[in-house]
Amino acid sequence: MAEFGSFPDILVDIDGYVATVDIQRPPHNYFDLTLISALADAYEALDRETDCRVIVLASQGKSFCAGAQLAGSGATAAPVPVPAPGGRAGRNHLYYEAVRLFEAATPVVAAIQGPAIGGGLGLALSADFRVASPEARFSANFARLGFHHGFGLTVTLPEIVGKQTAAHMLLTGRRVNGEEALRLGLCEQLVPLASLRSAAREFALEIASSAPLAVRSIRRTLRRGLAERVREATDHEQVEQDWLRRTDDFREGVRATAERRTPEFHGR
């Protein structure tokens, strides 16, 4: 196994045509602009690496990714404030960096060991496949925060679980456990936690054993237009997030989450 490159809060190793991209912000791996940019940089570097045919996206700690990091808070998973409409400033914008993940050429298998919540669910669904443990939890918890979903979930979640199930998840924010995730198609395999990484690697190796040029060609066809649709979706998601961010309900949702209580929303 050979270490590859240097990226903030990420360790990348390549072994047998499979690169493991390991997020190292335990225990919950909250993300911010720096982390998503580093992931995109790693993906693009691996796209140019002939010894890499498949990526396994994994993370250290209890959660796969428990959401976006609130400024000044190390404990609460909630959407980060986003720039106002029209404020997309090239590489300085989180969603611009997120779209780069969808533009990468190498197939990605995500290893989901625990909660993938909010934007963490968006990150999990940016991968081509997911291998999960029974301890995994999937939730688009935005409505419970008085907020609007992001990270392109408008596109990815309905495509994977269907429009009705996606609407139910988005409007209720309910958590889906590993067993239900397997039934819904949120993951392709459910394996014991102790063997999660090895199972994800075996899944990746099966893809890596196919002709690499053909794999990329087929994947490019299957995902044709996906990055563009995610870009368009995040533009709209950002507009909705911007006005909701200024509401009393959003402030109440964030407070209630931090205080571990049921929010009291008033529609203002």
Tens digits of residue pLDDT in 7-60:
999 999 999 999 999 999 999 999 999 999 999 999 999 999 999 999 999 999
Distance of CA 84 to the CA centre of its chain: 22
Average pLDDT of every residue of the chain: 92
**Cα separations in angstroms, 154 against 22, 97, 176, 182, 252:** 26, 17, 18, 20, 24
Q: For the chain, which residues make up each domain, given as ranges? A: 2-195+211-258
Token pair in block for residue 132 = 């999960």
Alpha helices in the chain (DSSP H): 33-47, 94-103, 119-126, 153-161, 163-172, 178-184, 196-208, 212-222, 226-244, 248-258
| pLDDT (tens digit per residue) in 141-161 | 999 999 999 999 999 999 999
Query: 73: how many CB neighbours lie within 10 A of its CB?
Result: 12
- Number of separate helices (H) and strands (E) present in the chain: 10, 10
Say what the pTM is.
0.91
* 30: Cβ contacts below 8 Å, ≥ 6 apart: 65, 66, 67, 68, 69, 74, 77
| pLDDT (tens digit per residue) in 59-112 | 999 999 999 985 444 433 444 444 444 444 433 489 999 999 999 999 999 999
Q: Which CATH superfamily is domain 2-195+211-258 in?
A: 2-enoyl-CoA Hydratase; Chain A, domain 1 (3.90.226.10)
**Cα separations in angstroms, 72 against 35, 139, 202, 247:** 16, 23, 39, 20
Q: With beta carbons less than 8 A apart as the criterion, state whether 18 and 56 touch.
A: yes
Maximum CA pair distance of the chain? 56
Rounded-to-integer distance, Cα 111 and Cα 157, Å: 18
Determine the pLDDT at residue 73: 40
Share of the chain above pLDDT 70, in %: 91
Determine the pLDDT at residue 70: 59
